[in-house]
Amino acid sequence: MPNKLFRKKNILDALSESAGSNGGLKRTLSSTNLVTLGIGAIVGTGIFVVTGQAAADYAGPSLTISFLISAICCVLAGLCYAEFASMIPISGSVYSYSYVTTGELLAWFIGWDLVLEYLFACSSVAVGWSGYMLNLLEGFGIHIPQHIAASTLVYKDGWAFSGSIINFPAVFIVGVVTAFLIGGIRQSAFVNNIIVAIKVGVILLFIGFGISYIDVGNWDPYIPENVSGEFGKYGWSGILRGAGVVFFAYLGFDALSTTAQETRNPQKDMPRGILISLIICAILYISVTAVLTGIVNYKELHVDAPVAIAVDKAGEGLSWLSPFIKLGAIAGISSVILVMMLGQSRIYYAISNDGLLPKIFSKVNRRGVPYNATIFASIITGLTAGLFPLDVLSELVSIGTLMAFTIVCILIIVLRKTQPNLQRPFKTPFVPWIPLLGAGVCLLQMVSLPWGTWLRLIGWTVVGLIIYFLYGIRKSNLEKKKEKNERI
């Protein structure tokens, strides 16, 4: 049994998947596509939704520091991702890297963790999209009944029914995005490019015109005093918890690594796409947070559409910008759902391709789309978005992302020791110090997250291990290869 758990996928076999037929996936993405996909995934709920809630609940105006901490952490992890993505340019992200580095059990564990990350990322963003769409429709006098416009469940010292049937707008946008994804990676990238241009333009308008409406009194105190010694409720512990909560807003570059097998020149383009999109988005996040908390007192920002509220708060001077902000947010958040759904389906595809999930998820249509994996991702994402509230979803995304980043940082050190002669088109600088620092900062942010989030992660992990030992360990391609060799 132990030999099975730690058996590794040969790196040459992994590289052969990225050549020739590419397992049915098609190489169509350019470096520009990768940067816009990165921005499309990163800039969305983090700016338009979670920024307000994290400022109100954890850090206040000092959420700018939280975003800076998360950005530094992401750059450290991003350098490690860039090395792996250029060296092993196949679908699957950290799952695939783990399989060739530490073996099957850890690969399954991180693959299952990535499923959590992308599933709850898609779902939380869809809930945020719903909030902005409802706000926009209200402006036109269109009212959607509450019983089909809010999550079925709420969490206040325990789970309870909200009285709503389902969050229908959240389910609706997941279905629309799925239709684009089924059309193929080229079509999806083209749609994403248009949406990114719109939302970045809207964000720059908000920053540029919003600066003149800042009331510096809203920044005083810049770091609100900690509440009665409660960890994570303002003060420096609040900044740290805020960094952990908003961390998932940066996971777009993680999603980029799942498209390595569909990139024309992954050795050069993947590192560029990851690092450039990350730097651009960090600047946008910090700037928007500063303007947002300057216009509106942080205590008033626990809403689903904080940027829209800030524009309304500024009064007539910015009223002309309100529909653009809401429309830009809706379009922008849509692109996040698109890229996260893309990443989620590619994770299913990669795991299925190795036999650890049913082969139905690795079937590819003539457009190079793993259509069964995409449809399955759509169904479970839509249900999750319709049933659960935003605060619970966003915290689960953060811990899943931090776990993935921690592991990829550690894997860089392991692979440098075990296979030092591999060709590395991009090399993480200052190994092992950069990876160790990246892993350390990620772990620190994980520790700062609420205990309830850890319990849900443990529960998710237990379910994943049950699936692996009941199905994956027996159906693994490596197990079948071993059985074939024994028969010979």
Share of the chain above pLDDT 70, in %: 95
CA nearest to 172, candidates 148, 141, 142, 192:
148
What does the pLDDT read at residue 46? 67
Q: For 198-202, what is the mean pLDDT?
A: 89
CA nearest to 95, candidates 67, 116, 76:
116
CA nearest to 291, candidates 274, 275, 272, 306:
306
What does the pLDDT read at residue 16? 72
Confidence band (pLDDT; 50, 70, 90) for 354? very high
Look at residue 431 and tell me whether its pLDDT is greater than 70.
yes
What does the pLDDT read at residue 240? 87
Contact yes or no for 428/87 (Cβ under 8 A): no
Q: How far apart are the first and last CA of the chain?
A: 22
Q: For 46-65, what is the mean pLDDT?
A: 86
Alpha carbon distances (Å) from 89 to 11, 22, 93, 273, 387: 11, 10, 9, 13, 36
Could you give the CA distance from residue 171 to residue 185 in angstroms, rounded to a whole number?
22
What does the pLDDT read at residue 24? 64
Q: For 25-46, what is the mean pLDDT?
A: 82
Taking only the tens place, the pLDDT of each residue in 235-250 is 999 998 888 778 767 7
Higher pLDDT, 60 or 133: 60
Look at residue 12 and tell me whether its pLDDT is greater than 90.
no
What does the pLDDT read at residue 2? 63
Look at residue 302 and tell me whether its pLDDT is greater than 90.
no
Look at residue 448 and tell me whether its pLDDT is greater than 80.
no
Could you give the CA distance from residue 341 to residue 129 in angstroms, rounded to a whole number?
15
Look at residue 430 and tell me whether its pLDDT is greater than 90.
yes
For residue 162, report the phi and psi dihedrals to the nearest 5 degrees.
-85, -20
Taking only the tens place, the pLDDT of each residue in 145-166 is 888 888 888 777 777 787 788 8
Beta strand 153-155 pairing with 159-161: antiparallel
Share of the chain above pLDDT 90, in %: 30
Angle (CA) 307-245-111 rounded to 5° is 120
Taking only the tens place, the pLDDT of each residue in 87-115 is 888 888 889 888 988 889 999 998 998 89
Type of residue numbered 304: D
Q: State the average pLDDT for the chain.
A: 85
Q: For 373-386, what is the mean pLDDT?
A: 93
Higher pLDDT, 393 or 143: 143
Domains in the chain (CATH in brackets) are: 2-487 (1.20.1740.10)
Type of residue numbered 374: T
Tell me which range, 234-248, 308-322, 354-368, is most confidently predicted by mean pLDDT: 354-368
Q: For 391-416, what is the mean pLDDT?
A: 82
Alpha carbon distances (Å) from 456 to 245, 386, 423, 462: 15, 19, 39, 10
Could you give the CA distance from residue 310 to residue 289 in angstroms, rounded to a whole number?
11
What does the pLDDT read at residue 402? 81
What does the pLDDT read at residue 445? 76
Look at residue 21 and tell me whether its pLDDT is greater than 50.
no
Tokens 């792996």 appear where?
84
Confidence band (pLDDT; 50, 70, 90) for 394? low
Could you give the CA distance from residue 465 to residue 323 in angstroms, rounded to a whole number?
47
CA nearest to 293, candidates 58, 33, 71, 10:
58
Angle (CA) 344-346-348 rounded to 5° is 75
Q: For 2-27, what is the mean pLDDT?
A: 70
Q: State both tokens at 111.
A: 């693959």
Confidence band (pLDDT; 50, 70, 90) for 22? very low
What does the pLDDT read at residue 18? 58
Contact yes or no for 380/119 (Cβ under 8 A): yes
Contact yes or no for 338/183 (Cβ under 8 A): no
Could you give the CA distance from residue 216 to residue 158 in angstroms, rounded to a whole number?
38
CA nearest to 352, candidates 269, 450, 472:
472
Higher pLDDT, 373 or 485: 373
Could you give the CA distance from residue 103 to residue 106 in angstroms, rounded to a whole number?
6
Sequence-ordered alpha helix ranges (H) in 140-230? 168-182, 185-210
